[in-house]
Structure 1
Amino acid sequence: MDLKQTRRRGDELEAALLDAAWQQLTQSGYADFTFEAVAARAGTSRTVLYRRWTDREDLLKAAVRRAGARAPIELPDTGNLRDDVVTLLHRASEARADFAVTLSVQLAEYFRETGTTFANLRELLIRRGRSGMELVLERAQDRGEITLEGLTTRVIELPLSLMRHELLWTLTRVPDDVIAEIVDDVWLPLLRARGALRDTVSTDSP
């Protein structure tokens, strides 16, 4: 799309530029992710890009952030902790599988060049404030299913961390049985062992 012909301005123009940058990255890879290529794809000039981003790493991070924000994950509210977390993992896997594959495959050279990892880039996608897992657990605490006192961030985020590891390892959506195993056989028993679960919460799947 020629941005000059559409005469876009401000946020609309920036969004279109970042969409073109993401397309360039996903279709041609990091080696061909240049200001020249992105400008050509967007139908504009390099100057327009340089007014907004200092270098291609800056542009890449902005494109990744926008692409990640396009598929927000709706927080579940099933009425019980176990089903909330299983549903959250399922939604996260569905929403992020293709995105994670793109980052893993297309950005291998970027990670080598910059000495960074997927974890560093993931920080761009973490919204400010409380995470989805924290919000889900806060609801469960309000229902009397759990106490968050003494739980570290690593323990709270463990289900998503294990799901993400599986996703990046297999480069495909995480199967339902694996998600259930993460929650039922790993995470809920850990919470019970730490005294965080109330007696009303089962560690068995329905």
Structure 2
Amino acid sequence: MAQVRRRGAVLEQAILRAAAGELTESGYAGLTMDRVAHRAGTNKNAIYRRWPNRAALGVAAYKLLVETALGPPDTGELRADVLAVLRQMNADLATPKANVAAGLMASAAEDPELLAQLREMVGDGASSMWLTMLRRAVDRGEAPPGCLHPRVATVALTLLRNEFMTRGMTPVDDDVIVEIVDRVYLPLIRGSRYSGGEKSR
């Protein structure tokens, strides 16, 4: 592929899309800087300036896959937003993204750098997306400002991930998702009175 002169965010997105494509087609085991550079129409130096190793690039590409599929919905109601996200995650277990996630976790057992990158990603828990939904809910008067804390915001995500892990990474019944939202998440959000705000950890 001929190299096209691009810079900044444009080049970064091209590299991430190329890496995401390689992950989907070949898994983490088949992900190489050479193949990503060729697919993106750039050189390896451009990749290494942004991601120091294959593990960092692989996790960044996986995050792109997940965020592109989800994104923060805006239905006008917190319950509907949360249900939409969890249902999409559940449906994604039957798509290539699930295979990518399984491949990353399997490779992490023998790759300390990848394991560290995955732990950082899980620790973040996509909190920015959940906080965006909660800020909208606060603005609408559906939730108190005290809910704007990453650990609180991502509780529903954590509970669903635990369900996936205990069931062998297979989809759950919709009743389970509704129960997580109605019996745990929404009562927690509505009762949040913590004064530290979203910046506290």
TM range (shorter): 0.5 to 0.7
- Aligned pairs for 1:56-75 within 5 A: 56-71=54-69, 72-75=71-74
In structure 2, the partner of 1:138 is 138
Change (3 A) 1:121 1:101: farther
C-alpha contact (below 8 Å) 2:164/2:170 kept by paired residues: yes
Change (3 A) 1:93 1:44: same
In structure 1, the partner of 2:116 is 116
CA–CA separation in structure 2 for the residues paired with 1:166 and 1:103: 15
CA–CA separation in structure 2 for the residues paired with 1:82 and 1:130: 12
C-alpha contact (below 8 Å) 2:18/2:39 kept by paired residues: yes
* 1:55 corresponds to 2:35: no
1:54 maps to a residue whose letter is P
Change (3 A) 1:64 1:3: farther
In structure 2, the partner of 1:157 is 154
C-alpha contact (below 8 Å) 1:101/1:171 kept by paired residues: no
Q: CA deviation at 1:162?
A: 1.1
C-alpha contact (below 8 Å) 1:75/1:132 kept by paired residues: no
CA–CA separation in structure 2 for the residues paired with 1:191 and 1:54: 38
Runs of 5+ in structure 1 lacking a partner?
Answer: 197-206
- Measured on the aligned residues, the alpha-carbon RMSD in Å equals 3.8
C-alpha contact (below 8 Å) 2:14/2:40 kept by paired residues: yes
C-alpha contact (below 8 Å) 1:3/1:42 kept by paired residues: no
CA–CA separation in structure 1 for the residues paired with 2:187 and 2:32: 48
TM-score by length of 2: 0.66
| Offset from partner CA, 1:136-158 (integer Å, 9 cap, x none) | 54246x14xx5455897544432
Q: CA deviation at 1:33?
A: 2.1
Runs of 5+ in structure 2 lacking a partner?
Answer: 194-201
- Aligned pairs for 1:24-35 within 5 A: 24-35=22-33
In structure 2, the partner of 1:14 is 12
Q: How many residue pairs end up in the alignment?
A: 187
| SS class of match (1:74) | coil
C-alpha contact (below 8 Å) 2:2/2:41 kept by paired residues: yes
